[in-house]
Amino acid sequence: MLEQVAGGSPKRGVLKRSQRRTLYFFLFISPWLLGFIFLSIAPLTIGFLSSLTNFDGLNLPNLKFVGLDNYVRAFEDPDVSFSAIRTLIWGFVSVPIYLVLSFLLALILNQNIPGRGIFRTIFYLPSVIPVVAAVVAWKSILDKNAGMLNGFLDLFRPGIAIGWLSDYALEGMVVISTWMGLGFGMIIFLAALQNIPEEQVEAARIDGANSFQIVRHIILPLMSPVIFLQLVMGLINSLQTVNLPLILTQPATYTQGLVPPRDIYLYMIHTYIQIFSNRRYGYGNALLWLLFVAVLILTGIVFWTQRYWVYSEQTGEGRQT
Amino acid sequence: MRRYTRERFLKQFGRLAGLTVLILTTILLMLPIITLVVTSLKLDSEYNRYPIVFFPQVPQWVNYQTVLTLARFAQAAWRTTLLGIPYAIIITTTSALAGYAFARYPIPASGKLFGVVIALLIVPEMVILIPTFIVFAQFKLHNTYWPWVLWALAGSPFYIFLFRQFFLNFPKELEDAAEVDGCGPLRIFLQIFLPNSTPVIATVMFFAFNAVWASYLVPLIFLNDSQQLLGVVLATEFKNPRGITLTTLSMAGTVIYIFPPVIAFFLAQRHILKGVITSGLKG
């Protein structure tokens, strides 16, 4: 399109210019393109191929093709189904809490409140704090023996020692992950809220709608595409959570890994242990590909529900129930 | 008239309630950081005492001095900085170049090409990371920093997207004028685009450096103890030579560990938040 700017130049020159532009395009993206091929596509393929073998990292010379054995084995492994269920529970608890809280915060911040900018910055702060530091910081509150929370409860009921990060590991992890993610969700929702046309809200107010009705019938439908995106990303992230349970159990090195409490024995933790403690590379890669398929299915399901609750310009009119 | 005042009262009341919620949330969000700092000033004997001592009798500022001179902490911090800075510079350069190409030299298929990359972000990180480790281990590249160099050279779709969005706003005339003056595309990029892109460069640099500084899983997998980065080092509490854990010392180390990203964030928060929004709303 842009070549036409060159105006009167002969056709051959135009072509040359567009060829030159193509050349520049590929020249400039070549580092990234090469990286994409060799550092994303290639490992992805190799991972899948190795999931069809009995690879353990050392048996490259006498590698055996085992077909889908690793996948069949995954379905017979009781720890896989157990950890998959734990992972779903983790996702279905942590993601809605994250969505609701960050949305509420954004709604409040969207009002004309003094010091809005400062609050916005402070709420985002936990999101820039490294995950290890977040866990250590929360340990100073939630630790069973020396944490401040048990110390506080101890004042009322002496001798209380609740393992917030062991007996209630899932709940503890939800608290930590919400703390870390809240600011991000809030920033995104706030930005989307500020895109909502003022007139629409004003018109509803003149028609006598109260604040709750405005949120329910105007703001929520208009925000639903953003909520949808956050829901999808949140679910995808929650299915592959491995950081938090790993840090909470502090494995000094991955070969002598400690096993997390059963509550947070997530799917990726099981996979991690298969790969790094048991050196079952083939089996571990099969588990990873099963996770990938699960992510695709879950995303597909969420996309399918989209038509029932996500507002779009075409079907938007008759949606108010 | 009555209705009007009632409305105004409700509005004022709503504002006050909102402000209260915001202040309470702030306190709640800052609580772990406050208790971390308070705990880091305790003696280990105070930390382990029952019933729990909330505040140290004498704040042990010496904990900070000790941890800074502790070889395990200081060396890991130094290594992480030395890896993070070149990583950030390289990945910003390659991502900026690719973003420039997508914004200014789009070929007909470039939109689709980028769509594929965005779609691939749905692939769980570990599905790529584990085979990468397996391959790199075969080439003896694990326990070195080469993987980070390669990843940096490859750029990142997320950063490329940020640069692309930023470069799209540059006026076409600027480029045309430079071209008439005989500037090649690379010179236009270096002398016109880059000098006018401080906000997006700062943002990407921040994200990239923090990606190394805050990383846990990747160094845990790719590095052994003698080259380990700070995040992994801090995840295991320090021990004294007799094998006793030094919890409050580790916490002092963690407070220092938090400082660089937090300070950088405060310095450039307006640009960083803008970057977060750009990538989060459209990505």
- CATH number for position B78: 1.10.3720.10
| Residue at A68 is within a domain | no
Interface touch A254/B269, C-beta < 8 Å: no
**Confidence band, pLDDT 50/70/90 cuts, at residue A250:** low
| Residue at A29 is within a domain | yes
Residues of A in contact with B138 (CB under 8 A): 60
CA distance B38 to chain A (A): 9
Interface test with A, best of B4, B7, B16, B25 (most A CBs within 10 A): B25
Same domain, residue pair A30 and A105:
no
Interface touch A128/B261, C-beta < 8 Å: yes
Interface touch A42/B135, C-beta < 8 Å: yes
Interface test with B, best of A4, A32, A54, A303 (most B CBs within 10 A): A32
Same domain, residue pair B166 and B272:
yes
Question: Of residues B240 and A266, which shows the higher confidence score?
Answer: A266
Same domain, residue pair B73 and B35:
no
Same domain, residue pair A282 and A146:
yes
Of A32, A138, A191, the CB nearest to B98: A32
> In this complex, is the C-beta atom of A129 within 8 Å of any C-beta atom belonging to chain B?
yes
> In this complex, is the C-beta atom of B179 within 8 Å of any C-beta atom belonging to chain A?
no
The pair phi, psi for residue A53, each rounded to 5°, is -125, 180
Tally the residues of chain A.
321
Q: Would you state the torsion angle of the CA atoms of residues B112, B116, B117, B121, taken in this order, to the nearest 10 degrees?
A: 140
> In this complex, is the C-beta atom of B155 within 8 Å of any C-beta atom belonging to chain A?
yes
Same domain, residue pair A143 and A268:
yes
**Confidence band, pLDDT 50/70/90 cuts, at residue A166:** confident
Same domain, residue pair B86 and B166:
yes
The residue segments making up the domain with residue A131 are 76-319
Same domain, residue pair B165 and B273:
yes
Residues of B in contact with A270 (CB under 8 A): none
In angstroms, how far is CA B73 from the centroid of its own chain? Answer: 20
Interface touch B127/A275, C-beta < 8 Å: no
Same domain, residue pair A94 and A186:
yes
Nearest chain B residue to A148 by CA distance is B54
Asked if A136 contacts B251 with a C-beta cutoff of 8 angstroms, the reply is: yes
In angstroms, how far is CA A153 from the centroid of its own chain? Answer: 34
Give the pLDDT of residue A309: 85
CA distance B40 to B274: 34
Of B92, B169, B99, B186, give the one whose Cα is nearest residue A20: B186
**Confidence band, pLDDT 50/70/90 cuts, at residue A21:** confident
Q: Report which DSSP code applies to A33.
A: H
Same domain, residue pair A35 and A97:
no
Asked if B87 contacts B212 with a C-beta cutoff of 8 angstroms, the reply is: yes
Question: Of residues A252 and A154, which shows the higher confidence score?
Answer: A154
* pLDDT digits 0-9 by tens, A5-20: 444 444 445 567 788 8
Tally the residues of chain B.
283
Give the pLDDT of residue B184: 85
Interface touch B155/A32, C-beta < 8 Å: yes
> In this complex, is the C-beta atom of A154 within 8 Å of any C-beta atom belonging to chain B?
yes
Of B192, B98, B77, B104, give the one whose Cα is nearest residue B152: B98
Of B19, B254, B266, the CB nearest to A136: B254
Q: Which pair of tokens denotes residue A45? A: 């393929």
Interface touch A43/B151, C-beta < 8 Å: no
Same domain, residue pair A46 and A80:
no
Give the pLDDT of residue A317: 43
Q: Which amino acid is at B247?
A: T
Same domain, residue pair B25 and B83:
no
Interface touch A112/B150, C-beta < 8 Å: no
Interface touch B280/A188, C-beta < 8 Å: yes
CA distance A317 to chain B (A): 24
Residue A7, C-beta contacts closer than 8 angstroms, at least 6 positions apart: none
> Into how many domains does chain B fold?
2
Residues of A in contact with B107 (CB under 8 A): 21-22, 25-26
**What is the ipTM metric for this complex?**
0.91
CA distance B93 to B112: 23
Interface touch A299/B127, C-beta < 8 Å: no
| Residue at A283 is within a domain | yes
Asked if B79 contacts B71 with a C-beta cutoff of 8 angstroms, the reply is: no
Residues of A in contact with B105 (CB under 8 A): 21-22, 24-25, 28
In angstroms, how far is CA A283 from the centroid of its own chain? Answer: 24
The β-bridge partners of A53 are: A65
* pLDDT digits 0-9 by tens, A57-101: 777 778 888 889 999 999 999 999 999 999 999 999 999 999 999
Same domain, residue pair B188 and B76:
yes
Same domain, residue pair A41 and A95:
no
Asked if A245 contacts A264 with a C-beta cutoff of 8 angstroms, the reply is: yes
The residue segments making up the domain with residue B32 are 2-40
Q: Would you state the torsion angle of the CA atoms of residues B41, B42, B47, B51, taken in this order, to the nearest 10 degrees?
A: -110
Residue B61, C-beta contacts closer than 8 angstroms, at least 6 positions apart: B41
Interface touch A131/B232, C-beta < 8 Å: no
Of A21, A129, A284, give the one whose Cα is nearest residue B129: A284
Of A34, A120, A226, the CB nearest to B281: A226
Same domain, residue pair B131 and B265:
yes
Of A122, A123, A292, the CB nearest to B123: A292
Same domain, residue pair B119 and B180:
yes
Same domain, residue pair B85 and B34:
no
Same domain, residue pair A249 and A311:
yes
> Into how many domains does chain A fold?
2
CA distance A188 to A183: 9
Residue B59, C-beta contacts closer than 8 angstroms, at least 6 positions apart: B41
| Residue at A82 is within a domain | yes
Over residues A169-192, the mean pLDDT reads: 94
**Using CB atoms and an 8 Å cut-off, which of residues 48-67 of chain B contact chain A?**
48, 50-52, 54
Q: Which pair of tokens denotes residue A4? A: 């036409």
Of A169-173, A204-208, A297-301, the range with the lowest mean pLDDT is A204-208
Interface touch B52/A148, C-beta < 8 Å: yes
Determine if residue A208 is left, alpha or beta; phi over 0 gives left, psi from -120 to 50 gives alpha, anything else beta: left
Per-residue model confidence as pLDDT tens for chain B (283 residues): 555 677 777 777 878 888 899 999 999 999 999 999 999 999 888 888 878 888 998 899 999 999 999 999 999 999 999 999 999 999 999 999 999 999 988 888 888 888 887 787 788 999 999 999 999 988 899 899 999 999 999 999 889 999 998 999 888 888 888 888 888 888 899 988 999 899 999 999 999 999 999 999 999 999 988 899 999 999 888 888 887 888 899 999 999 999 999 999 999 888 889 888 887 776 5
Q: Report which DSSP code applies to B121.
A: T
Same domain, residue pair B194 and B73:
yes
- Looking at every residue in chain A, the average pLDDT score rounds to 86
Q: Report which DSSP code applies to A276.
A: I
**Residue at token pair 């079952």:** A280
Give the pLDDT of residue B254: 96
| Residue at B54 is within a domain | no
Give the pLDDT of residue A202: 87
> In this complex, is the C-beta atom of B30 within 8 Å of any C-beta atom belonging to chain A?
yes
Same domain, residue pair B33 and B161:
no
Give the pLDDT of residue B119: 80
**Residue at token pair 């910003």:** B92
Of A36, A113, A122, the CB nearest to B26: A122
Same domain, residue pair A82 and A40:
no
CA distance A31 to B151: 10
Same domain, residue pair A207 and A151:
yes
Interface touch B235/A57, C-beta < 8 Å: no
Of A113, A125, A129, the CB nearest to B22: A113
Q: How many CB pairs lie under 8 A apart between chains A and B? A: 256
> In this complex, is the C-beta atom of A286 within 8 Å of any C-beta atom belonging to chain B?
no
Same domain, residue pair A89 and A229:
yes
Asked if B148 contacts B190 with a C-beta cutoff of 8 angstroms, the reply is: no
Nearest chain A residue to B102 by CA distance is A25
Question: Of residues A18 and A128, which shows the higher confidence score?
Answer: A128
Nearest chain B residue to A108 by CA distance is B18
Same domain, residue pair B162 and B244:
yes
Same domain, residue pair A147 and A240:
yes
Of B121, B100, B84, give the one whose Cα is nearest residue B205: B84
